[in-house]
Amino acid sequence: MRILITAGPTREPLDPVRFLSNYSTGEMGFALARRALARGHEVLLVLGPVEGQPPVGAEVFGVETACEMRDAVLEFLPDVDAICCSAAVADYRPATCSRRKLKRGETDTIELVENPDVAAELGRYRGSKPFAIFALETEEGVAHAREKLVRKNADLCVVNSAEAIGAEEAEFVLVGRNVSTRELGRLTKDDLADRLYDELGL
């Protein structure tokens, strides 16, 4: 099978030298790619800007912004068999991007506009393709995950917390439409990827 994986952050430019982003390292997506390749699948990795190196054997398509990621995944969607969205896509972007570096005192506020919901758009057009998403939450993780499952039309949602960013292992909870909520305990990201693929039948 050919699996589409999104990973890493997005960067939303404010001026030529500044941007809005987050702490995502892309390591969860790399683990998903590694384990998919180990299972004999092909991997198409849509990757935001990260410092780490993706697994050898993955087909990598680099993007910067949320809009670029949305355009890429919708273009690739017809040619893949399953989808795992682990990217930390920025919810908002600056309404305008200055062509020159903004100086101190030139602006007191930054107007933001909403970015496309990449996972929700994939859910809208995926058909019957297996589809997993991730939710990094700081409170009421399971409740938020269940809401996201419905809104994004996904099969499974992995809940983690900020401690997972850059960590070798973390606590994960698996929430699905057709399975009960499962506390997976403390796992490496590779082990979590294997559990996820088992649940998806991949």
Which positions are catalytic?
Answer: 22
Alpha helices of 39-160 — where are they, by DSSP H? 66-76, 118-125, 141-152
Q: How many angstroms from the chain centroid is the CA of residue 128?
A: 20
Judge whether 63 and 81 are in contact, CB under 8 Å. Answer: no
7-27: burial string, b at 16+ Cβ within 10 Å, e else: bbbbbbbbbeeebbbeebbbb
189 φ/ψ angles, rounded to the nearest 5 degrees: -70, -30
